[in-house]
A = this chain, B = another copy of it.
Amino acid sequence: MIRLSTKGRYGTRLMLNLAQHYDNGNGHKAVILKNISDDERISIRYLEQIIIPLKINRLVKSIRGAGGGYILARKPEDIRLSEILHALEGNCCLVECVEDESFCEFIETCPTFPIWKNATEILKGYFDSLTLKDIVGMAEKKSKQGKTKAR
């Protein structure tokens, strides 16, 4: 399987959770990991590890102490999925050599290299086209539809 690691998946859900609770009125209401843990059923300990690179890459801000928590560093419409995955995974290549050309020895003659490279670019393009706001919007629309259909 071509796998998106749990780090990438859980980190994306973490960011979406923050986006859903993002207060546009600038109330700066921080969300605590415990809540995200309950919502998303991911252990707090693991979330703590996952949020570190998100903080380092300035996608979230932390507020320490009582009443603290995390908030998005920017508006949801200004954060792209590609940035999140890049922060979490270092890169989002299908194979190492696409980003680090010294990884494979025979990159010049390797017949698969252009394939993995193209595929990576296609994926990146898709993830780059989506902001957190887009994704939250898609999810809201979907859940509204679900309620309308009586089933």
Contacts and interface: CB of A to CB of B under 8 A. Distances in A.
Interface string A110-151: 111011101100110011001000011011001100100000
B2 A94 contact: yes
A111 B16 contact: yes
A49 interface: no
Given A95-B3, A123-B122, A115 B81 contact: yes
Interface in A85-104: 85, 89-96
Task: Give the size range of A's interface with the partner.
Answer: 35 or more
A127 B5 CA distance: 21
A38 interface: no
Contacts of A24: none
Nearest to A6: B95
Interface in A32-49: 41
Interface of A: 1-5, 8-9, 12-13, 16, 41, 81, 85, 89-96, 105, 108-112, 114-116, 118-119, 122-123, 126-127, 130, 135-136, 138-139, 142-143, 146
